């Protein structure tokens, strides 16, 4: 679960900037799904839009929150499609920033570009001219209520992986809403947190769904939270545990975000800086992440 507790002291440690943070223990949390009251769609839902639950139609605040999530979801398919297009283009080296060239599978290894594309394709229809979510995405529910009582001051969102239900916390709602709200002139020349929005949070969230990584062709496992942040994900790709990129939700998110803004802004953004933010979104916060554990049965959470 992504938080923002400052750990600038980590950056000051000698040699830490170029090191891959050691894996941190995670906390598991079993959740008993609760009944939800369905809510109407926004005025203009997109094809196969997610569902909404527990929004009070008599509350202007609730309706504004639902509209915010809807507006963030609208460009989600376009961001995913740009990720797919970038992965498929062997001349586009964006992929190499986030993933190694091969992924180890039982009995050998396969091309990583094809694998990552297969993961994205679990969620998106193969129609590059008009990107649309698959019909299965329409079964995902955005619950207005903090149904797992997991939101903390610095929590963006969380996702229940087996039932496809997610909640956006207050901090997540304070992000720029849609990817299209972010202006190219504000992004500088390198990949950074300036590219993050509620749209990119949704990209990350949906990676945790059982119907994404778990069912992808030649699946190497559930997509969990190994590490957070652009700089940390880039370092993970270059470190000794680089195969973990294929089960790291933020790696898929940053690949899609990077490709999206390369296309929208008409330029190739450079490698991310390594900053204190990368450490605060990796080392210090995984301890607070209610995360998937292979030894725990269904109902556990995956956090963003």
HEC string of the chain? Answer: CCCCCCCHHHHHCCCHHHCCCCCCCCECCECCCCCCCEECCCCCCCCCCCEEECCCCCCHHHHHHHHHHHHHHCCHHHHHHHHHHHHHCCCCCHHHHHCCCEEEECCEEEEHHHHHHHHHHCCECCCCCCCCECHHHHHCEEECCCCCCCCCCCCCEEEECCCCEEEECHHHHCCCCCHHHCCHHHCCCECCHHHCCHHHHHHHHHHCCCCCHHHCCCCCCCCECCCCCHHHHHHHHHCCCHHHHHHEHHHHHHHHHHHHHHHHHCCCCECCCCCHHHHHCCCCCHHHCECCCCCCCCCEEEEC
Low-confidence winner among 74-78, 96-100, 162-166, 300-304 (lowest mean pLDDT): 300-304
User: What integer pLDDT is reported at residue 300 of this predicted model?
Assistant: 38
Asked if pLDDT for residue 17 goes beyond 70, the answer is no
Question: What is the C-alpha to C-alpha distance for residues 23 and 11, in angstroms, rounded to an integer?
Answer: 17
Question: What is the C-alpha to C-alpha distance for residues 87 and 117, in angstroms, rounded to an integer?
Answer: 7
| Count of C-beta atoms within a 10 Å radius of residue 207 | 29
Low-confidence winner among 63-67, 113-117, 151-155, 178-182 (lowest mean pLDDT): 151-155
User: What integer pLDDT is reported at residue 288 of this predicted model?
Assistant: 34
Question: The tokens of 30 are what?
Answer: 């079993």
Question: What is the C-alpha to C-alpha distance for residues 22 and 282, in angstroms, rounded to an integer?
Answer: 9
132-179: pLDDT as tens digits: 999 999 999 999 999 999 898 888 999 999 999 999 999 999 999 999
Asked if pLDDT for residue 43 goes beyond 60, the answer is yes
183-207: pLDDT as tens digits: 999 999 999 999 999 999 999 999 9
User: What integer pLDDT is reported at residue 35 of this predicted model?
Assistant: 52
The average confidence (pLDDT) of the chain is 82
CATH topology of domain 8-303: Collagenase (Catalytic Domain) (3.40.390)
Q: Report yes or no: 263 and 82 within 8 Å, Cβ to Cβ.
A: yes
107 against 290, higher pLDDT: 107
Provide the sign of the torsion angle of the four alpha carbons 239, 244, 250, 251, taken in this order. Answer: positive
243-298: pLDDT as tens digits: 999 999 999 999 999 999 999 999 999 999 876 655 554 443 443 333 333 322 23
- Relative orientation angle of helices 249-265 and 198-207, to the nearest 10 degrees: 140
User: What integer pLDDT is reported at residue 204 of this predicted model?
Assistant: 96
Asked if pLDDT for residue 23 goes beyond 50, the answer is no
Q: Report yes or no: 209 and 164 within 8 Å, Cβ to Cβ.
A: yes
User: What integer pLDDT is reported at residue 50 of this predicted model?
Assistant: 97
Q: If pLDDT is split at 50, 70 and 90, which confidence band does 241 have?
A: confident
User: What integer pLDDT is reported at residue 39 of this predicted model?
Assistant: 79
For range 36-63, the mean pLDDT: 88
| Domain spans in the chain, listed from the N-terminal domain onward | 8-303
Q: If pLDDT is split at 50, 70 and 90, which confidence band does 5 have?
A: very low
Asked if pLDDT for residue 20 goes beyond 50, the answer is no
User: What integer pLDDT is reported at residue 304 of this predicted model?
Assistant: 40
User: What integer pLDDT is reported at residue 202 of this predicted model?
Assistant: 97
User: What integer pLDDT is reported at residue 152 of this predicted model?
Assistant: 85
């Amino acid at each position: 679960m992504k938080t923002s507790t400052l750990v600038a002291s980590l950056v000051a440690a000698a040699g830490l900037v170029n090191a891959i943070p050691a894996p941190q223990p995670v906390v598991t949390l079993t959740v008993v799904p609760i009944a939800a009251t369905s809510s109407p769609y926004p005025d203009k839902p997109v094809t196969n839009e997610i569902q909404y639950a527990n929004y009070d139609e008599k509350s202007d605040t609730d309706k504004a929150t639902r509209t915010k999530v809807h507006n963030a979801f609208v460009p989600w398919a376009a961001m995913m499609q740009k990720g797919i297009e970038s992965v498929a283009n062997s001349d586009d080296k964006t992929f190499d920033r986030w993933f190694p060239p091969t992924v180890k599978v039982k009995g050998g290894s396969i091309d990583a570009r094809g694998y990552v594309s297969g993961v994205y394709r679990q969620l998106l229809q193969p129609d590059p001219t008009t990107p649309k979510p698959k019909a299965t995405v329409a079964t995902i529910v955005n619950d207005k209520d903090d149904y797992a009582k997991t939101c903390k001051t610095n929590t963006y969102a969380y996702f229940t992986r087996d039932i496809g239900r997610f909640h956006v916390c207050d901090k997540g709602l304070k992000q720029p809403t849609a990817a299209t709200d972010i202006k190219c002139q504000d992004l500088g020349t390198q990949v950074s947190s300036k590219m993050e929005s509620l749209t990119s949070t949704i990209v990350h969230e949906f990676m945790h769904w059982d119907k994404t990584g778990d069912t992808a062709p030649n699946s190497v496992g559930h997509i969990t939270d190994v590490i957070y942040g652009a700089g940390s994900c880039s370092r993970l790709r270059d470190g000794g545990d680089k195969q973990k990129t294929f089960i790291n939700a933020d790696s898929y998110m940053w690949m899609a975000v990077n490709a999206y803004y390369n296309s929208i802004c008409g330029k190739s953004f450079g490698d991310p800086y390594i900053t204190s933010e990368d450490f605060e979104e990796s080392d210090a916060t995984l301890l607070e992440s209610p995360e998937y554990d292979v030894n725990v049965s269904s109902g556990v959470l995956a956090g963003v």
